[in-house]
Amino acid sequence: MANKHLKIRIYNGGTVAMGPGKAELLETIDTCGSISSAAKQMQMSYRRAWELVDVMNKCFNQPVVTSASGGQHGGGAHLTDFGRFILKSYRDLVVKAQLATELELNQILSNLNQSE
Amino acid sequence: MANKHLKIRIYNGGTVAMGPGKAELLETIDTCGSISSAAKQMQMSYRRAWELVDVMNKCFNQPVVTSASGGQHGGGAHLTDFGRFILKSYRDLVVKAQLATELELNQILSNLNQSE
């Protein structure tokens, strides 16, 4: 439940370097083996997925995803070891934050009107 | 430093019920005693500030801000006790999350390119 309500984003200046959407995209690229398949599965445009990967690759001092060349939509993409490390750090961060803030989160969530 | 990079938002469905901007607005209304003065200090339009307050008041089962009537921009506004409670819960949540995730946050931040 908490996961749906608590969203944590890591900023590099005004740019989101890592957040729920980018983490999900990395996981989907890891599963699908290409940016275009991941985009399709996440129901976003290839252009949008490519841009999100590009933002991450530029935010960090090493690439999180590498693409093989070839074809209009490239010849496949995979997470680098560094990308896996950053993704794991973010996922661990979210879990630890949720565990540490259970009291305060419930104080807020229990006073929300039902929205869905 | 962490505060600038780690941003936590609490969602009610697709709507941000509480986050860095809304918390700052509540604190500024508390200091200034009106939505229009708070908007001015935060360099946002009165309309935008009013809308953010309205979103919060609709997200929660009690108002976080009450406005006195009178004049085009109302006769002053103040945080309710409930608003103070939610604001404190959110601020505590952010501090606890930062403390609990120091390791992971540093793993991510230390690999960001300098952006500013």
Domain assignment of residue A87, yes or no:
yes
B89–chain A nearest CA distance, Å: 5
- The answer to whether residue B89 neighbours chain A at the CB level (below 8 Å) is yes
Domain assignment of residue A49, yes or no:
yes
Please tell me the pTM assigned to this model.
0.90
Domain assignment of residue A110, yes or no:
no
Q: How far apart are CA B101 and CA A61, in angstroms?
A: 21
Contact by Cβ (8 Å): B47, B38: no
Domain assignment of residue B115, yes or no:
no
Do A93 and B111 count as a contact with CB atoms less than 8 A apart? Answer: no
- The answer to whether residue B3 neighbours chain A at the CB level (below 8 Å) is no
* pLDDT for residue B74: 58
Select the residue of B15, B89, B115 nearest A108 (Cβ to Cβ).
B89
* Average pLDDT of the segment spanning A102-112: 97
Domain assignment of residue A70, yes or no:
yes
Task: Give the Å distances, CA to CA, from B8 to A57, B13, B40, B96.
Answer: 23, 15, 25, 12
Count: domains in chain A = 1
A34–chain B nearest CA distance, Å: 24
Q: Identify the bridge partners of residue A6 per DSSP, sorted by sequence position.
A: B10
Domain assignment of residue A116, yes or no:
no
Do A59 and B113 count as a contact with CB atoms less than 8 A apart? Answer: yes
Terminal Cα-to-Cα distance of chain B (whole angstroms): 13
Better pLDDT: A70 or A39: A39
* pLDDT for residue A73: 56
Contacts of residue B59 in chain A, CB cutoff 8 Å? 112-113, 115
Do A90 and B108 count as a contact with CB atoms less than 8 A apart? Answer: yes
Do A60 and B7 count as a contact with CB atoms less than 8 A apart? Answer: no
Under DSSP, the state recorded for B111 is T
pLDDT per position as a tens digit, B38-81: 999 999 999 999 999 999 999 999 999 998 766 555 579 999 99
pLDDT per position as a tens digit, B5-31: 999 999 999 999 999 999 999 999 999
What are the b/e assignments for A94-115, b being 16+ CB within 10 Å? bebbbebbeebbebbbebbeee
Do B115 and A9 count as a contact with CB atoms less than 8 A apart? Answer: no
The residue range of the domain holding B75 is: 2-109
Do B15 and A115 count as a contact with CB atoms less than 8 A apart? Answer: yes
Residues above pLDDT 90, as percent of chain B: 86
CATH number of the domain where residue A48 is located: 1.10.10.10
pLDDT per position as a tens digit, B70-110: 655 557 999 999 999 999 999 999 999 999 999 999 999 99
- The answer to whether residue B95 neighbours chain A at the CB level (below 8 Å) is no
* pLDDT for residue B1: 39
Domain assignment of residue A97, yes or no:
yes
Domain assignment of residue A4, yes or no:
no
